[in-house]
Amino acid sequence: MNSNDYTAVANASELKLNQALQVFYKQKPVVVIRTKKGLSAFEDYCPHRGLALSKGYIQNDEIHCAYHGWSFDCLAGKNKNVPVKNEALPCSLKAFYIQEKYGLLWVSSEEDAFIPQLDENIEVIALQGKIKAGLLNTLENFLEGSHTHYVHDGLIRSKKKARHPIQAKIIQNTNGFKVYYESEPPKGIVTQLLPKKLRQLYSVSTYIHPNVAVLEFFNQKDQIVSRFEAILNEEEGHTAYYARIFIHLGILNPLVKPFASRMFQKIIEQDKLILEAQQQNLIHFPEHKFYSDETDLVGTHLFAWQNQKQNQLEAVSNFCVYW
């Protein structure tokens, strides 16, 4: 775990050949470039007068600034020409490392930084968007189930149905933590529509530091039924998400996929609405701290990881939630 771990900054298909795209890494603009020589990433800042280089254009493997036309080599970032002088100057762009993996572009300031292990399968339902909320609250929302009865009433769980005590356990590891929940009776349309033997599911939430949340559902034979990955990136005033959804229902997959896609879209919309409403209200109360008890352990653990206080956490914590 390192603070320079690779961050997903864009969908790989957003960056076409000979194009430059502005993305955000650690909340600062970075320009990512694709030429036939490969991918590159630089601080999105022209050393001359500071215009974003992403506003320029690519020609002959050089990026040309839109203001006074200074050009830079797309791979090394070296200045190649200053038109008003008709020669190059000894200046370069600040470079970042970039990788393409899981259909996403990942940026880091360190070459061998950690890149989270996600599902290699590309047969995926992919959704992306932006939520006007902070990273931490968005991560907590994706990882934590207590809101589902209210925010996703009838879809995932239900406000009205009787609750059952569910034992849960958080286990720390070097890159984050895992939360194991006991199985529970189906309480929303998502599980009620499944074949009978698949309705009693248990779930595992995984946090991969700094900004990935994974939710997995398993049947009683420990076979995975579905996996949801939320890869987040805090940008300017919002959190961008790349969601990847995998359904493992064998021959039922083609049938379930379109339905699952719409369902997850709806679920994320509901989360977006509540997160943006929360954010709007938090602006008025910067002096307040959240009130939490052990049923909020997922959030408490996330806050500790984000504040680099994960060493103070128990290796294993047991708790109970009424779901």
| Shortest Å distance, C-beta 156 to Fe ion | 7
Contact between 42 and ligand FES by CB under 6 A: the answer reads: no
Residue 70 makes contact with ligand FES by CB under 6 A: yes
Q: Which does 48 bind (CB under 5 to 8 A by kind): ligand FES, Fe ion, none?
A: ligand FES
Does residue 57 contact residue 63 with C-beta atoms inside 8 Å? yes
Strand partners, 31: 22, 42
Structure tokens at 250: 């064998």
CB closer to ligand FES, 68 vs 163:
68
Tell whether residue 57 is a contact of ligand FES (CB under 6 A).
no
- From the list 67-75, 100-108, 159-167, 209-217, the region that binds ligand FES by CB under 6 A is 67-75
Q: CA-to-CA distance for 275 and 134, rounded, in angstroms?
A: 9
Q: Of the ranges 41-49, 85-93, 172-180, 190-198, which one interacts with ligand FES (CB under 6 A)?
A: 41-49
139 interacts with, out of Fe ion, ligand FES, none, CB within 5 to 8 A per kind: none
Distances (CA, A) of 104 to 9, 99, 119, 212: 7, 8, 12, 13
Helices 135-143 & 297-306, crossing angle to 10 degrees? Answer: 140
Pairing of strands 165-173, 71-73: unpaired
Tell me if 144 contacts Fe ion by CB under 5 A. no
Region of 60-68, 89-97, 173-181, 308-316 interacting with ligand FES (CB under 6 A): 60-68
309 touches, from ligand FES, Fe ion, none (C-beta below 5 to 8 Å by class): none
Among 26, 48, 55, 147, binds ligand FES (CB under 6 A): 48
Query: In whole angstroms, what is the distance from residue 22 CA to residue 315 CA?
Result: 40
Q: Closest approach of Cβ 71 to ligand FES, in Å? A: 9
Strands (E), the chain: 7-11, 19-25, 28-35, 38-43, 57-59, 62-64, 71-73, 79-81, 95-101, 104-108, 125-131, 165-173, 176-181, 202-208, 212-218, 224-234, 239-247, 316-322
Q: Which does 51 bind (CB under 5 to 8 A by kind): ligand FES, Fe ion, none?
A: ligand FES
271 binds, among ligand FES, Fe ion, none (CB under 5 to 8 A by kind): Fe ion
240-279 mask for Fe ion (x: CB under 5 A)?
-------------------------------x--------
Pick from Fe ion, ligand FES, none: which does 70 bind, CB < 5 to 8 A by kind?
A: ligand FES
How far is residue 223's CA from residue 176's CA, in Å, rounded to a whole number?
A: 23
Binding window for ligand FES (CB under 6 A); candidates: 6-14, 45-53, 136-144, 160-168:
45-53
Q: How far apart are CA 164 and CA 151, in angstroms?
A: 18
Cβ distance 162 to 303 under 8 Å?
no
Regarding 168 and contact with ligand FES (CB under 6 A), the answer is no
CB 22 within 8 A of CB 231: no
Contact 180, 143 (CB under 8 A): no
Interface with ligand FES by CB under 6 A: which residues? 46, 48-49, 51, 65, 67-70
